[in-house]
């Protein structure tokens, strides 16, 4: 047999073999090979997870055509050295190649975290802790150490002002320090040059604006009334009058379910008792809302010094300039409370 014929035979066998091998390799890489269980599967890869732990998580949460093929792709793409923590949602069939690219690239699914109407760090930690990797205990432990944020100008009483209620996009593997860092960036973004200038014009620091805004939020059931209520408190601050804000009493006695502030509540010895102590309390009594912050920065200019809830329970208030007029308005509201048998 001639040498040329031998070469021809070898090539005629090699080309089809190479073609078959390429088909197999393509299938391993690009054909749909993994499927979610029940329509959607969530892969949680924790911090410090090993390659073996990551693959165990994948095997437990996905329908895999060939684990051997998946491992082959993972090793070829160096996934053992590139494991990234996170939350990954698989909601459609994927190829081995696409899955490993997602995981080794850390392309996790963002978590939308929303919080509002939060009054304390405990409540905030509970609200956020269930949505990211850092649990409520880790979040509280971080904020219980003032050195974690004192360089940024915050105290344990004021650091809650960093959390401006809204909806934020996080990654699941967010730690407590990363949570604080992200919220601090959002806080600084909110306090732009224009808002800083407004705070200087009314004679309050950003933290003091947050403190007053948290009180306004608790007093006002109607957003359109917030600037007027803020104006009342600004007038009182300028005259050195106690704020006499009922929500601060609820904060001082740690009971926000009280419908009626009684004289015994007013005797509570607390720096948050704005009936006993003039000026602002030590810090916010809740996470101040954006509408509350804007209301303080753009407080209505008037000469009202008092306000009392309207007896029609509409959520609005009657405003007055004199104490005698205020007492009359307050009496009408108290009489309605009595009529409705609301005694506490």
List pLDDT tens digits, range 245-268.
999 999 999 888 887 788 888 889
Q: How many helices and strands, by DSSP H and E, does the chain display?
A: 14, 9
- Mean predicted confidence (pLDDT) in 220-244: 95
Residue predicted with more confidence, 19 or 132? 132
| Contact of 242 with 278, CB cutoff 8 Å | yes
pLDDT bracket for residue 116 (50, 70, 90): confident
Question: Residue 42 pLDDT more than 70?
Answer: yes
Q: Which pLDDT score, from 0 to 100, does residue 30 have?
A: 52
CA distance 306 to 219: 12
pLDDT bracket for residue 4 (50, 70, 90): low
Two tokens, residue 244:
């006499």
| Contact of 272 with 248, CB cutoff 8 Å | yes
CA distances from 108 to 58, 101, 102, 186 (A): 14, 11, 7, 22
Q: Which pLDDT score, from 0 to 100, does residue 3 have?
A: 58
Residue predicted with more confidence, 77 or 28? 77
- Mean predicted confidence (pLDDT) in 316-340: 86
Question: Residue 327 pLDDT more than 90?
Answer: no
Q: Which pLDDT score, from 0 to 100, does residue 18 have?
A: 40
Average pLDDT in the chain = 88
- Spell out a b/e string for 314-325, using b for 16 or more CB atoms within 10 Å of the CB, else e: eebbbbbeeeeb
Residue predicted with more confidence, 334 or 283? 283
Q: Which pLDDT score, from 0 to 100, does residue 5 have?
A: 56
8-state DSSP, 244: -
- The closest of 328, 286, 282, 279 to 308, measured between CA atoms, is 328
Q: Which pLDDT score, from 0 to 100, does residue 109 have?
A: 87
Place of tokens 């601060």: 248
Q: How large a percentage of the chain has pLDDT more than 90?
A: 69
Question: Residue 10 pLDDT more than 50?
Answer: no
Q: Which pLDDT score, from 0 to 100, does residue 28 have?
A: 45
pLDDT bracket for residue 31 (50, 70, 90): low
CA distance 266 to 276: 8
């Amino acid at each position: 047999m001639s040498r040329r014929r031998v070469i021809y035979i070898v090539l005629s066998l090699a080309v089809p073999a190479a073609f078959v091998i390429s088909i197999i390799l393509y299938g391993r890489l690009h054909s749909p090979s993994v499927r979610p269980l029940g329509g959607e599967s969530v892969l949680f890869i924790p911090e410090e997870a090993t390659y073996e732990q990551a693959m165990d998580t994948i095997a437990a949460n996905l329908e895999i055509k060939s684990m051997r093929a998946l491992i082959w792709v993972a090793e070829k793409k160096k996934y053992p050295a590139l494991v990234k923590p996170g939350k990954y949602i698989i909601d459609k069939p994927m190829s081995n190649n696409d899955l490993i690219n997602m995981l080794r690239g850390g392309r996790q699914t963002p978590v939308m975290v929303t919080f509002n109407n939060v009054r304390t760090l405990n409540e905030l930690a509970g609200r956020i802790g269930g949505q990211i990797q850092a649990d409520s205990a880790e979040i509280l432990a971080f904020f219980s150490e003032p050195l974690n944020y004192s360089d940024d100008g915050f105290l344990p009483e004021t650091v809650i002002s960093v959390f401006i209620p809204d909806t934020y996009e996080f990654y699941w593997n967010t730690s407590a320090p990363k949570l604080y860092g992200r919220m601090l960036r959002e806080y600084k973004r909110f306090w732009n040059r224009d808002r800083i200038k407004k705070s200087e014009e009314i004679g309050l620091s950003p933290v003091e604006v947050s403190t007053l805004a948290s009180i306004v939020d608790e007093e006002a059931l109607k957003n359109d009334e917030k600037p007027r209520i803020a104006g009342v408190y600004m007038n009182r601050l300028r005259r050195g009058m106690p704020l006499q804000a009922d929500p601060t009493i609820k904060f001082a006695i740690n009971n926000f379910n009280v419908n009626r502030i009684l004289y015994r509540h007013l005797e509570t010895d607390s720096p948050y008792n704005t009936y006993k102590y003039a000026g602002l309390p030590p810090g916010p009594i809740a996470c101040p809302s954006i509408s509350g912050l804007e209301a303080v920065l753009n407080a209505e200019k008037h000469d009202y010094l008092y306000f009392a809830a309207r007896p029609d329970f509409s959520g609005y208030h009657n405003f007055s300039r004199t104490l005698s007029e205020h007492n009359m308005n307050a009496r009408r509201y108290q009489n309605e409370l009595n009529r409705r048998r609301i005694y506490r």
